[in-house]
Structures are given as C-alpha cells and as structure tokens.
A and B are shown apart, each in its own frame.
Chain A
Amino acid sequence: MTKVTPSLGSVTLEIARSGSGGGQERFDVPVPSTHARVLDALSWVRENEDPSLGFRFACRVGMCGACAVVINGKETLACQTTLGEIDESTIRIEPLRGLPVQHDLIVDMRPFFSNLARAEAGLKPRDPQSRDLPIIAPDSNERTTIEAQNGCITCGACVSAIADQPQVDDPVGLAALNRILMLTLEERDSAGATRLDEFADEVRALRPQSAEHAESVCPANIPLASALEQLKSFVAGHGGDS
C-alpha cells in the first residue's frame, strides 16, 4: 500500500448543526499529523472552537461503529477517514440520513435497534441447555456464507445510504436482513427461515443496486449485495442450497 503524505496545513470542515437555526458551520482546523482522522478534527473543534459540538464515538478503531457520519455525501466512519485522503477542499460532515437527528452529528439509533428486535435478530436456540460445544465444520456451505456475512458493527451506514431510494414503507433494513440470512442458515437456530416471512415483500422490493450501494459504504465490508441475492432466492422458494 502506498502512503500519501499530505502537506500538514489546515482543512476546512463544514459541519451540519442542529441547534437554533441549524445550517452548516465552517471551521478551519489544523492538521496535527499525517494520519489524523476526521474524528480528530471534530475533537479539535470541540476542544478549541465550540465545546458544544455534538458527535459520537467510542472505540476510535473502527470496531464500534458509533462515529458513522456522512462525509462529502458518503457514509463512513469518522475514525477511519484520514484528513489527507479527502480530495475536496472542504470536508462536509453531516449526520446519517434516515434516522432522526438528536444533536448535530448524532442520530437516534433507536429505530435501527428496534428493527433488529422486529426482525427477531437473535438466536432462538435449538439446544440451550447443552454443555457441549457444537462441532462446527468451518468449510460447510452454510458456515462459509455465515462467516462471510458476519461482522456487522451496527453503524447504520447502510440505512443512510439508501434512505432516499424506493423501498417498502417502514423497511427493516439491510443490516437486519443480513442477520436474518445468517440465522436462517444457522444450524443452532430453531426458527430457521420463518423470520423471513414477514419481510418477504421488502426483500422482493429491494433493488440489487441499492444493496450494492449500501455495501460500498459498509465499513465492515459486509457483502450486502450477495446477502440480498441469497434472500431473494429464499423468498422465491429455492434457497438453502445456494
């Protein structure tokens, strides 16, 4: 991997504010080091210019997905985006779309979590009392798929990415559908494909291009397009042998 060293100077942030009047606010921020992130720039603003600026983060290493925002029109994690890698002269930062804004760049994630609950996106165990560890052959078809789809960090970027595209009313969303797919293939689960029944219309309605677009912004690189394809085949009644 080649590394581009930007000249350390300053960058201009244009941050969407939710306070009185809303709108965008501009800040000139010094670039402290080659690898400084958009998150560092936000933190600089908070500590030096406006202590009331609202943004969310926790782990700072791309594992928690709390800092997902829209940067120059594209969903991404603020902690994983270096200032130097952005081409435009101004870095526009907005909250995720499709979720209610709580404070500046912070969106309310409750609808996102409610959708996971609605999808019953947790294992319904076949054998909860078992005190043996299941033998899980790592190379079975089901397991290979489950592994490929695993690793969602519930950041909400995929919701935001297709918020403006035609979908069913009140969609459960790709992150939840992806989890449904995993559980459908999961041998330890007792509910099998039944979770899908309620969301069959949504699976039919979702366009492959939407899933591809969502996949392109997913910070955990979850193959959402392939998830949708497999779900469509389940819904069409010939899933399970993919």
Chain B
Amino acid sequence: MQSLTCDILIIGGGGAALFAAIHARDSAPNLDIVVASKGLFAKSGCTRMVQGGYNVVLHDDDSFDKHYDDTIRGGSLINNQELAWTLVTQAPERVFEMENSFGCTFDRNADGTIHQRALAGQSFNRTIHRGDLTGIEIISRLAEQMLVRDIEMLNEVRGVDLLLDGSGQSVTGALLMDQHSGELIAVNAAAVLVATGGAAPLYRITAASLEKSGDGLAMAYRAGAEFVDMEMMQFHPTGLIVDGSLLNGTVLEEGLRGAGGHLLNADHERYMERYDPEKMERSTRDRVSRSGMMEIRAGRGTDSEGVYLDVRHLGKEFLLKSSPGMYERCLTVGTDMETDLIEVTPTAHFQMGGIRIDSECRTSLAGLFAAGEDAGGVHGANRLGGNGVAESMVFGAIAGESMARHVKESARPAIDPDRLSRLCDRLEGSAEITGEPYRLKNKLRALSWEHLGILREANGLARVEEELNAIESELTALPMPAQRGGNPDLQERLDAENLIDVARLIGAAASQREESRGSHFREDFPDSDDRYLVNFFQRKEADGSMTTESRPVEFSRRTPDALLGETLIPA
C-alpha cells in the first residue's frame, strides 16, 4: 500500500471536480491538491455529455426571481431554498469566468451577443448552449485550465472508501485503488470532496456515462454522512432505443420536443393528450417520461418497449440547424429524422437526491464536502433542463474555495488505522476472475428499473428490499480475486456493491413518501399530498442500520402560497 498526504483530495473527474480543483488552486495557490478520477479526467462522467445547455440569468428582462421561481416550481416545492438561490445567483459568475478566463464560447446571435433559448419549465429564454453538444466545450476548456495549472491528477484511480479519524466523526482522507496496477493508496487529506456524479446507471436503461456507479454516495453513506431526497431520480423521456447495444438509452435532447416534436404510441396516437392536454409534449420531464411508461405498460408501446418521437414535420433544414448532433446520432442507428420515426424510451438521467450539503458544500461530516450530482437538495423533486451543469459549475467552485478555507482553519486529523486496515484486508484475495459481478450488476439494474424506477408501489418496493439482500449475499460470497490490477471484473463488483447501497437509500425513501411528487410517482398514491411538503433525510447509524426521517421543507424565501396559481403546482 502506498501512502500519500495532501491538503485537498478531490474524488471525481467531471465538471464539479474540475471546477473545485481550479478554484481551490486559485484561491490558495500553496495548497497540495490531488484529483483522483475513476475514468480519465474530463473524459468520463456526464458533464461532457451535456447537450441542451446551461441556465443563467443574463438578459435585462429576465431576473433571479424568475429563474428561482421556475426552479422551485420545477422541483415541486421541496428544493432546499437556500441552495437553489445560490444556484441561481452564482450561475452568471461562472459563465463570466468560463467565457473570459477559460475561453469557452457559447453560441452567439448574429450581433455577437450571447444566444439563449428555453428548455422545458422555464419562463424565459435563459439557456446558453453550444449547438446541441454543449458539454464538450465546457469540459474541454476546464481540462485545459487544469493542465496549465499543473494540478496533480490520478487517472483511472477510483475512490474505494472514505477514511475517518479515531473519533469516527471527521473525514480525513480516502482509500483509493489504481485500476491498472491494483495498488491501494491511502490518502490523508484535510478536506475531501466527493464529486462522482450520482448513480443513474443503477437502472437498466440510462443516459449517463456507464462507469458511474454511485461510488461517492456509497462511500459517504458508509462513512455516516446524511442524505436528502434520495427518492428523487430523474428519467428523461427521450432515450434512443438501440437494441442490443450499449448506446441504448442515450439521450436525444429536450430541444426536439421544445421545438414541436410529437410523441406517438405504437398506434400513432399523440398520447400526451391523455396526460397533459394543455402542454402536450412540452410538459415537464417527469410527466412526459411517466406518460411514455404508462403507454408502454398499457401495451401501446413498440416491439422494443418504446414510443416514437416524430420530428419529421420540423423539416430537415431546421433539424440540421438546431440539432445537428442529434441528427447525426440518429443516422448512425439507421434513423433519418427527416423521414423516419425515432424509437425512444424513458431513460434514467439524473439523480436529484444526494449527500446533504449547506451553501458552502459542507456535509454532515467534518472534512467531507460534496458538489454536483452527488449533492442533494438543489433541485427538489425534479431538475429543470439546464440547471444540472449549472449546479456542477456553481457548487464545484464553491466547494473548491470552501475546502481551501477549511484547510487553513483546521488540522488534518490522523487516519484511524483500524478502519484503514479493515478496508484494505477486504480487498485481499486469491481467487480467479469469474465474471459473476457482471451478471449480478445486470440483475440489479433490471430490478431497479422494474421497481425503483418511474412507476413505484408498495409491493414492488418491498420486493426490492428482499432481492437487494439476495443479490448482496451472492456478491459478498464471491471470493476476492488475487489480481487487483487490470481486472475490470473487480471494478464491476465494487460498482455493484455501491449501487446496492444507493438502491437501498432510494427504496427506503420511496417507500416513505406515500404520495406522488415530481419524479417520484407512486401508483398506489398517485396524487400529491401537502402533508409531504417534507424532505427525507437518511443516514447509517452506528449499529449499521439505516434511518429515514422526514423534516418539513424550510420555506425561507418562498411559501407554497406564493407559488400557487401555476399549472405545475397541484391544486
């Protein structure tokens, strides 16, 4: 085992992680910063896959209040109101920085001013973008800034577990594993950021980058951090269907629906008429996904268990101009948007729930910080398109500065050696590589899709609990392999273990929310219920059990009454 000491350890290699590293370095140039990423830094994760764009108030006729109200309404009122306010008010700062300091170029109008459009649920054209492949621009420019700052990066080195001090109350580093050499690295750090991008790949069909497996969440859970809103998982309505391919579930951007695309069932009916006759396809993501799923369940789906997205009437010229990346992507699966219907399915997209943070990205554990998709509370029950990448930039930057301050003010506690050796011992073994983890992970993803997904009900949720235990027993019964390095099978196993922890959190919170709100839909409680204007907080107790506790939403800036009268608020 290798030992390493630094001031700040950042776990993750997406937008939130990189922004944190850059801001930590710029605000305190003398600190030792180490970034460890499971995939290649900036080439893994979902920031790179961002399509539609970034929501930001820039126009004189727009306002923070409008963006804020849209965000809270979109979240069905249970967002953490302080975090949401931070998101909205800091979003412009990060855009100025990206454009002026990092050299990002978002699309311009003919007169050279920035172009903004609206994604679903917005009252103003406030999404900046670069065509329909915005993420490449953002992450490429961030990556360069990392490189020119010479920040230490450990590539394809995964976080395995957090390390604690002797009291068990402070995070003081992490155990990492180099996936190529198999070497374990114990990092002693004064501040640790988890920015591993959530757990959308828990589901059989997902849009997210597939190396993500809720690692940061699971590590924080095992270390005792508090979680919020874990029942809230967003499904995007238009994942491309590509049978028998890893491409299955990759997203076709929302702009296509916004521009007037139709959704049809197998009988070619515009089924949104049944579910949201007023907004039709322009309804919110949660509702459109659910409607699609209901059509499929009712037997009105296609042979591949999907529905159709029809954009033929928008014309080739428009499609090529507004969605060139999507046009191209469809062509590669033999579908020409101009002449063909596109077969789509709802797909697991984004995790709203996560580690509870305050406005400084501090978690309930001293020394542990979270940002981006791993953090919960900003989006409430449903995230608006364009608020996700904004979250990663805004809170990534905050986390970087906040950690730099923390390091100056606090000591670096020593690592509890017992915990460390327990964690390391577990990873020693002498077995052959079996391939079993692949099977078990697939089983877990199918189970989650079925019962923890878009439509939930009590019996299914109870079944999940049992089956998770069964899958976990099978997994833990597998002997550890002798070969740690260059062993994707072992990585798969660790992924599956983490996903099980996340699935349990989702399942327990989803069972307790006996109503439907935002992306959480209970078939046995299909309506919203004011008694559930609460958030569920979860943590692991000292005896290993999980507690789930509800607390009323703090309406510090807006009361529910102030937002009534809007169609998104259930009467």
Contact = CB atoms under 8 A, between A and B. Distances in A.
A35 B103 contact: no
Nearest to B109: A138
Contact of B334 (A3, A59, A136): A3
Contacts of A188: 99-100, 103
Given A37-B247, A130-B100, A110 B155 contact: yes
A125 B101 contact: yes
A127 B147 contact: no
Nearest to B103: A123
A64 B42 CA distance: 8
Contacts of B438: 46-47, 51
Interface stretch (A114-122, A165-173, A204-212, A228-236): A114-122
B148 interface: yes
A203 B105 CA distance: 26
A63 B139 CA distance: 11
Contact of B148 (A47, A104, A120): A120
A151 B136 contact: yes
A43 interface: yes
A63 B113 CA distance: 27
A60 interface: yes
A117 B150 contact: yes
B209 A59 contact: yes
A200 B180 CA distance: 36
Nearest to A3: B334
Q: Interface SS of chain A: helix, strand, loop or mixed?
A: loop
B247 A35 contact: yes
A138 B102 contact: no
B242 A33 contact: yes
A199 interface: no
B333 interface: yes
B421 interface: no
Contacts of A122: 102-103, 141, 144-145, 147-148
Contacts of A82: 332
Interface stretch (B43-51, B166-174, B408-416, B464-472): B43-51
Contacts of B45: 58
Interface string B103-134: 10100101111100000000000000000010
Contacts of B417: none
Contacts, number: 188
A123 B148 CA distance: 9
B144 A116 contact: yes
A52 B489 contact: yes
A128 B434 CA distance: 53
A134 interface: yes
Contacts of B246: 37, 39-40, 43, 57, 60, 79
Interface string A54-74: 101111111111100000000
Contact of B245 (A36, A47, A146, A152): A36
A121 B498 CA distance: 37
A146 B108 CA distance: 14
B432 to A, nearest CB: 10
Nearest to A35: B333
Interface string A78-111: 0110100000000000000000001110100110
A46 B49 CA distance: 25
A229 B544 CA distance: 64
B336 A121 contact: no
A63 B247 contact: no
Given A36-B244, A125-B103, A136-B112, A58 B210 contact: yes
B245 A37 contact: yes
Interface in B480-509: 483, 486-489, 492
Nearest to B181: A102
A116 B245 contact: no
Interface in B11-66: 39-40, 42-45, 48-49, 58
Contacts of B242: 33, 35
A196 B393 CA distance: 31
Given A51-B489, A122-B144, A109 B135 contact: no
Nearest to B243: A33
A1 B331 contact: yes
B140 interface: yes
Interface string B331-354: 111101000000000000000000
Contact of A52 (B42, B43, B102, B487): B487
A195 B155 CA distance: 27
Question: How many residues of B sit at the interface, in one of the four size bands?
Answer: 35 or more
Central interface residue in A106, A122, A131, by most chain B CB within 10 Å = A122
B309 interface: no
Given A133-B96, A133-B114, A183 B103 contact: yes
Contact of A154 (B108, B140, B486): B140
B102 A66 contact: no
Contacts of A116: 143-144, 147
B100 A121 contact: no
B244 A32 contact: yes
Given A36-B244, A47-B435, A110-B155, A128 B58 contact: no
B95 interface: yes
B270 interface: no
A63 B108 contact: no
Nearest to A46: B488
A113 B39 contact: no
A133 B40 contact: no
B49 A59 contact: yes
Nearest to B329: A61
Contacts of B259: none
Contacts of A62: 329
Contacts of A103: 180, 486
B569 interface: no
B250 A61 contact: yes
Contact of B48 (A52, A64, A132): A64
Interface in B390-438: 433-435, 437-438
Contacts of B147: 113, 116-117, 121-122
A73 to B, nearest CB: 22
B211 interface: yes
Contact of A35 (B99, B111, B137, B332): B332
30 contacts: A3-B334, A32-B245, A33-B242, A33-B245, A35-B243, A35-B333, A40-B246, A47-B435, A47-B438, A47-B439, A51-B437, A51-B438, A58-B44, A60-B250, A63-B135, A64-B43, A66-B43, A79-B246, A106-B180, A117-B148, A117-B150, A122-B102, A122-B144, A122-B145, A128-B101, A133-B58, A135-B111, A150-B137, A153-B136, A179-B144
Interface of A: 1, 3, 5, 19, 32-37, 39-40, 43, 46-48, 51-54, 56-66, 79-80, 82, 102-104, 106, 109-110, 113, 116-117, 120-123, 125, 127-139, 146-147, 150-154, 179, 183, 186, 188-189
